[in-house]
């Protein structure tokens, strides 16, 4: 593992941690959608235990793979998060950091709250699956969840407001943009939006649900606003000055943003149903788990994602991005980690579409042949994503990868000190 990058570091390396965190959440989808949990909106340690005891071979395989994958991916996420925080702390003391703060690249700092939001989300889902009895105290944890997501939201607002003030005052450099890089800020706020929506979907306390919905709607409004501003801005810069090869993967950033906003809508739907039960006009009617409107929403999200994935794939295959930055080990590019999040996003929203959209609305039967075929397609998409994440980790972050033979600033300083010491000894001799 490379260390002490100094000025060679980029905040985009946080996306490596983000990708593995997202993959841990996908493994949790096995518990969320395959195992039954009729008494709780989310799977718990106890519901998974019951599913293991009563389930068949497929259920047991799904649970075993879910646990192994979730734990390993989240452990890698935490390791890469710690590595990034250490490297970023040193990077802030360099001239490269001050240069970054004065250019379009300042938006890459939004990768920090984006990844921290994933960390909070990953800790929560891991806790649900691993900690016995956690559901019994879940209401006590909801205020903490609001505080954590609120803290990440404040960090994102500080970074973004600083960036926007400078850009509005000094102007935006369209020529240096070269992609949809600015959508990284939208991605970060979408992560905070879906995080706030979680307590709205889980809690039965009307105050918590209301506060969570307000927080989600606030950050969701920022997300939509930034998307409608930065998407055409990025397209304009590309049409006029061309797409920068290292930024090619940013063409896919709309995919995970779409996934997060779709899941937000589903969570807020639960929150709305909870608040409705407190209304004097509530007649006691049972709320349906899903609806055709939900199916259409999920289908629209996937079709929206396919347009960006298709265009991005055609461009990256034509301009050699895959060959140079995914399969190659010669060029260091932290932006290449942007490739992982879209695959995770498509896999996760596809699990929701299959179970909450198709199965819940009677379009297909769970555990039927069609169901297994669709599960296999989703797993295939995820396996390609997992392969890409591991390949990028090997090629970009290990010493045998892109930094092989390249001395880091710390190593260069040590070598220089050694040469100076040898010179002094030679003179004294």
Residue-wise pLDDT tens digits, 90-128: 999 999 999 999 999 999 999 999 999 999 999 999 999
**Whole-number pLDDT of residue 404:** 54
More reliable by pLDDT, 283 or 302: 302
Asked if 287 and 358 count as a contact pair (C-beta separation under 8 A), the reply is: no
More reliable by pLDDT, 134 or 411: 134
Q: pLDDT of 28-52, one tens digit each?
A: 999 999 999 999 999 999 999 999 9
Percent of the chain with pLDDT over 90: 80
How far does CA 36 lie from the centroid of its chain? 26
Q: At what angle do helices 111-130 and 57-91 cross, to 10 degrees?
A: 150
Q: Provide the residue ranges of all domains of the chain, joining segments of one domain with +.
A: 6-278+287-417
* pLDDT at 321 exceeding the cut of 70: yes
pLDDT average, residue stretch 149-167? 96
The CA-CA-CA angle for residues 120, 125, 295, to 5°, reads 105
Q: pLDDT of 347-394, one tens digit each?
A: 999 999 999 999 999 999 999 999 999 999 999 999 999 999 999 999
Residues contacting residue 293 through CB under 8 Å, at least 6 positions apart: none
Distances (CA, A) of 112 to 72, 85, 109, 115: 22, 9, 6, 5
More reliable by pLDDT, 425 or 243: 243
How far apart CA 287 and CA 274 sit, in angstroms, is 9
Indicate the average pLDDT of the chain.
91
Three-class DSSP category at 244: coil
CATH superfamily, region 6-278+287-417: Voltage-dependent anion channel (1.50.10.150)
**Whole-number pLDDT of residue 339:** 93
* pLDDT at 413 exceeding the cut of 80: no
Q: How confident is the model at residue 422 (pLDDT cuts 50, 70, 90)?
A: very low
């Amino acid at each position: 593992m490379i260390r002490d990058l100094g000025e060679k570091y980029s905040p985009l390396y946080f996306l490596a941690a983000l990708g593995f965190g997202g993959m841990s959440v996908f493994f949790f989808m096995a518990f969320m959608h395959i195992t039954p949990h009729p008494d709780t909106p989310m799977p718990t340690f106890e519901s998974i235990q019951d599913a293991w005891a009563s389930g068949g071979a497929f259920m047991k395989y799904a649970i075993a793979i879910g646990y192994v994958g979730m734990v390993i991916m989240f452990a890698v996420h935490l390791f890469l998060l710690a590595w990034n925080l250490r490297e970023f702390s040193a990077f802030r003391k360099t001239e490269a950091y001050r240069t970054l703060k004065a250019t379009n690249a300042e938006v890459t700092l939004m990768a920090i709250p984006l990844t921290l939001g994933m960390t909070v989300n990953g800790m929560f889902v891991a806790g649900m699956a691993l900690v016995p009895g956690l559901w019994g105290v879940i209401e006590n944890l909801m205020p903490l969840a609001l505080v954590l997501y609120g803290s990440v939201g404040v960090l994102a607002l500080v970074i973004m407001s600083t960036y926007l003030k400078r850009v509005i005052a000094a102007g935006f450099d369209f020529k240096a943009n070269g992609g949809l890089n600015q959508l990284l800020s939208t991605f970060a706020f979408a992560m905070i939006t879906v995080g706030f929506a979680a307590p709205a979907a889980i809690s039965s306390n009307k105050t918590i649900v209301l506060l969570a919905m307000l927080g989600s709607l606030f950050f969701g409004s920022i997300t939509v606003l930034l998307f409608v501003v930065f998407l055409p801005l990025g397209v304009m810069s590309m049409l006029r000055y061309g797409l920068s090869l290292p930024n090619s993967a940013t063409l896919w950033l709309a995919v995970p943003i779409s996934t997060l906003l779709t899941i937000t809508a589903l969570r807020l739907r639960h929150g709305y149903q909870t608040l409705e039960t407190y209304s004097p006009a509530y007649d006691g009617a049972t709320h349906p788990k899903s609806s055709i409107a939900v199916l259409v929403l999920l289908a629209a999200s996937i079709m929206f994602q396919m347009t960006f994935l298709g265009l991005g794939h055609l461009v990256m295959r034509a301009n050699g991005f895959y060959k140079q930055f995914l399969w190659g080990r010669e060029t260091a590019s932290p932006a290449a980690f942007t490739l992982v999040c879209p695959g995770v996003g498509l896999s996760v929203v596809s699990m929701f579409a299959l179970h909450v959209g198709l199965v819940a609305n009677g379009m297909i039967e769970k555990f039927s042949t069609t169901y297994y075929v669709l599960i296999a397609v989703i797993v295939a998409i995820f396996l390609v994503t997992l392969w890409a994440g591991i390949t990028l980790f090997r090629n970009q972050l290990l010493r045998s990868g892109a930094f092989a033979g390249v001395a880091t600033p710390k190593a260069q300083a040590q070598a220089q000190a050694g040469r100076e010491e040898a010179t002094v000894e030679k003179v004294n001799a």
